[in-house]
Amino acid sequence: MSGFKNFILRGNLVDLAVAVIIGGAFGSVVAAFTAWLTGAVGGSDSMFANAKEGDFAFFLNALISFLILAAVVYFFVVLPYTKAKERFFPSPEPGTPPDITLLTEIRDLIAAQKG
């Protein structure tokens, strides 16, 4: 079970999964939701349904889709993954840097010679 946990929590595998699964599965859902949302806010259905590349409506639809998709990916994939990674693989406590250790030893030697 530990090997499977290590396999799943590797960074490259999760990054690839986020890119492929979320991009493919939620792309059309977000586009449909955005079209519905912009129509409900006050735009007409024909304004966004007939939008072509270069139109402001096309740009606005793509921008809103991107923001929603980015929020979904961050809050439902990246944030839980980061918390799980911190829980299962805690970062080691930072030790004293070697230069500070060396300076401490020098200080102690000088104090021992004087005292």
pLDDT tens-digit series, residues 6-22: 666 666 776 777 777 66
Residues 6 or more apart whose CB falls under 8 angstroms from that of 96 comprise 104
Assigned token pair, 65: 């889709």
pTM listed for this prediction:
0.49
| Mean pLDDT value across residues 43-58 | 59
Integer angstrom CA distances of residue 2 from 6, 8, 12, 89? 6, 10, 18, 12
Per-residue pLDDT, 49: 59
- Range(s) of the domain holding residue 83: 2-114
Assigned token pair, 8: 């799943």
pLDDT in tens, 64-111: 877 887 788 889 888 888 888 888 877 777 888 889 999 999 999 999
Please, which pLDDT band fits residue 29 given cuts at 50, 70 and 90? low
Count of domains observed in the chain: 1
Give me the CATH number covering residue 62.
Answer: 1.10.1200
